[in-house]
Every structure is written in structure tokens, then in C-alpha cells.
Homo-oligomer: A and B are copies of this chain.
Amino acid sequence: MSFYYTRIVHFQDTDAAGVVYFANVLAMCHEAYETSLIAFGINLKVFFSNQEVAIPIIHASVDFRRPMFCGDELSIKLMPKGWGDDEFEISYQVFLKEVGKMWVARANTKHVCIHPQTRSRQKLSDEMRRWLLSFGSS
């Protein structure tokens, strides 16, 4: 099972070339991640400013097949993949409503669970493990 996040392209997402600025697509994918966490019952305010545990992104990549324009209706498909005790990856596919089945962009983020102060690795919380398991076996 995947999670889908729907998002209109805002004016602020675009640049003077008339299309979505490349790095903003990663921000949209992160919104999909946040929305999935909320849907699972996780409190974002606590999650992202927790003094005991943080899950920063250590790698991200993104590919673009077609430009996206202001007002475009996007559907972002989120799916965790390849996770271990203290890390996980998420893959995203961005679809344009009119275009159909082909992705217009796709992305990948790798997250590692750490202690915010020492930056040393620690195991994912039970809550995050349940969130990951909720997607079933990929």
C-alpha cells in the first residue's frame, strides 16, 4: 500500500523560467511524508522538535521528466522502502493529473534515527516502526 498526497502547485513554487523550481519538488515530497505521519496519528510539532530523537535526512535525490506549472494538480505517491533498525528510505513519485500514469518527477530520501545532541545513531521508535509496517511488504 502507498500513501497519496494531493497538492496544487503554488505561485511561490515557480521561478522565472515559468515552472516549479527544482528544489521545491523535494519540499513537496517532504509535505507528503509529513501528511502521512499526521494521517498515522503522529504529532508533527513533537516529532520535529523532539530533544531525545531526530530522524534527519542524510541523502536525497530527485529526477524530472516534465516541467510543472502554477495551478497544476499533483498527486504524490509515497512508499517507504529498505528500512533497518535505525534508518529507512522513502521513494516518491509525482504524477500530474492530466498526464496520467507516467510520473513527472520522482524522488528518494534516506533518513537516519539519531540522538539530536550526540548525533549518534539510535533505534527507530516503536511508533515509526509501526508507521513503516503500515505500508505492508513492498
Q: Closest CB of chain B to A3's CB: distance in Å?
A: 15
- Is A69 in the interface zone, CB < 8 Å from B? yes
A72 (CB) vs chain B CBs: closest residue: B45
Interface residues on A, range: 35 or more
**B69 in contact with A58 (CB, 8 Å):** no
**B12 in contact with A30 (CB, 8 Å):** yes
Q: Which of A9-33 contact B (CB under 8 A)?
A: 9-12, 14-19, 21-24, 26-27, 30-31
| CB-contact partner of A70 in B8, B48, B56, under 8 A | B48
**A60 in contact with B57 (CB, 8 Å):** no
In the complex, what residues of B have CB within 8 A of residue A72's CB? 45
Please measure, in the bound complex, the distance between the C-alpha atom of A58 and the C-alpha atom of B57, giving whole angstroms.
21
- Is A38 in the interface zone, CB < 8 Å from B? yes
**A17 in contact with B58 (CB, 8 Å):** no
